[in-house]
Structure 1
Amino acid sequence: MSSSFHWNNAASGIIGSAFFWAYAIGQLVNGYIGDGFKSRYFIFIGLFMSAAANFAVGLSSNFSLTLVLWAFNGFFLSMLWGPIVKTVSAWFPENKGTRISVILSLSMIAGYLFSWGAMGQAITALSWRFAFFIPAALLMAYSFVWVAKVRDHPNDVGIKSPAAYSVKKTGGTQENSGLNMREVFIKYRLFLIAVACFVQGFIKDGLSLWAPTFLKATQNINSSDISLISLVIPIMSMAGILCSGWLNKRFHGNERRSVLVLFSCSVIAGIILLISLGSGIGITVVLLSIIDACMYGANTLLLTIIPLKFRAFNKVSAVAGCLDFCSYIGAASSGVLTGFAADMLGWKSVVASWSILSAIGIVSLILSKRRAENI
């Protein structure tokens, strides 16, 4: 698109940033709204409208119109996550939370890899417009499959929900079930969990965005090799997701302790990378992969398992949306701040910031456990 319309990197970056900000704000809005509407229809609207936005971008040849349409796409896609987690909470018991969160996270990674590969071939064989037309067609078709086949709750088909349990079992009271979101965030110290979500979003997406540039600036290798080597990092993120599931089982469903371990590994890997920077491409890629894998693992536990704990209070979608909002605010912030730090202070400052932020995440999680009521 940039080549076709002679857009510079800044213009292309503005379009990408518009998507992130629209998605983040949409998570906050749609996560809250999603608790009051049937997920089946809410998600259908999000899928259908995202398909329409993708198709329109494929037809567009105007920068301003593309910018608006891509922001709309981000907003419509934000209608999915909170209601999906809400639907999962109705169909699966609490002891399946770790497995479900891992499967959902792996499916997203698989989607990324498939889309990058398939759309790359489509662009080469056809044109960049088909990178929007093909996803639009798939989304449009699946939106009708979703609304026809999916049901919000087992009760809709005459089945007792395996997730059914009393408010008492969650450690709450009947009074708690009427708490609004502000009260939930304060009483259960979710604002401290939100700090951890911001941290992992900043590091995870910042590393994914800047890894090729980082490797080119710090290693003596050519651009074609960097592109191939960089693929190792997102592939390793799948190992981080699987590791998070294993850790959570070892800690008997204590997701905070599992995330603490992942953040601690990120701190250690960051320090080693800072000390060994320039020692070789192998160790650099391994350490970057460990940091990225730790953040993907933390993402799995923070954005799925914790929201599932609020099903008795009918706040699953709202909590998922708020925490995802914080994660994507971190992602949106990382692009600009990482680039600024690299230009002004060098890449070592970026690596140091990853370790410092991971340490902040550790502190926030410790405080959230010590000061919050159990859920």
Structure 2
Amino acid sequence: MQHIHALRRGATMSYALATLSTISFSLLLGACSTPPVRPQAATERPTATAGETPAPALTPQMAQDAELLNRMASQLDRLYRVAAPLLINNVDLCKAQARNLLGFTAKNRYSYPGDYNEAAHVAFGMGEHLQVTGVLAGSGAAQAGLQRGDRLLTAGGKKLPTGANAPSTAGGVFGPLLTATTSLPIGIERDGDKRSITVPVTRACGFGIELGNADNVNAYNDGSRVMVTRGMLAFVRSDDELAYLLATGMAHSLLGHPASQRYAGTVGGIIDNLVKVEPDTSMLIGSGGIKAMSADTDIAADRLALYLTARAGYDIDGAAPFWKRLAANYPATVLNGFVANHPATPARVAAMEKTTAEIKSKQSTKKTLMP
């Protein structure tokens, strides 16, 4: 029997691909997300909540669309889990990129484009209200007990928007409140009961973490977002490797490389395209308009990235071997791959090994890990 997934509290959390209407206000750590999911028979119907339109009958196409969203959700789930300590533990190195955040993600059915809107409504039970779809470990939202599936009603006593414009307009409510408080009361509905919880504000690196819906083995950063393609996500062998990859994108942004190297606009366009459920992969033909980084630029980012990774509690011993393996499998001649944009592998590896030894020495003598 074909299976789909529907919203149920207590199931495994998944983060879906942010598409056309990512919630962009600063309380969120990155992209929008799907509800938690569990296997459910195709004949089983999500229960309608008061004030929400009951879901129509499931069709085979809706089930297929739901499975696609679910696969992407599980991939973004991993990205966010690995990114959490990088964002929270490195706030003192983020400088201008640090933000006041509450530490949860939310969406409603209109966060999905086209036919996927109906698939999300039917398979995930998404409706008019924004609802919590992920809580970042270590954040204020986690401390306050906010749960996946909570419907968002008010913030600071102000009613939150519903409907098609909710994902893009809720920031107008949350944004001003976060600048003037250290904690925020939020009205929610949970299992049919209305209640209020107070969420402490978390200071964290305000980078968006995105999944690129493409098979090329690459990662991108545009100064405010770090993206890993599904091809690269399949290539990494461990959370430590993925953490270093994410940290590298953060480091380039923290060092101002997207602006100084003048690639922010080009890469931003690629990210905007690849976050779509069905991106235009013709943009990835050749180099995609991205110029290769110089060795000095990459080495500077690698040094900072190793510190970011170590400060987040990840093992950095495998960083240099990871880049050597990546270059061996996808060399610079693969024009839409990571090494084509960052070709100075031998120089980078030598510098990484030196920085790794430096960090290990500081760790052994219990010195502060500052680059």
What range is the shorter-chain TM-score in?
under 0.3
Q: Which has the higher helix share?
A: 1
Q: Which has the higher strand share?
A: 2
Larger relative contact order (Cα-Cα within 8 Å, sequence gap ≥ 6): 1
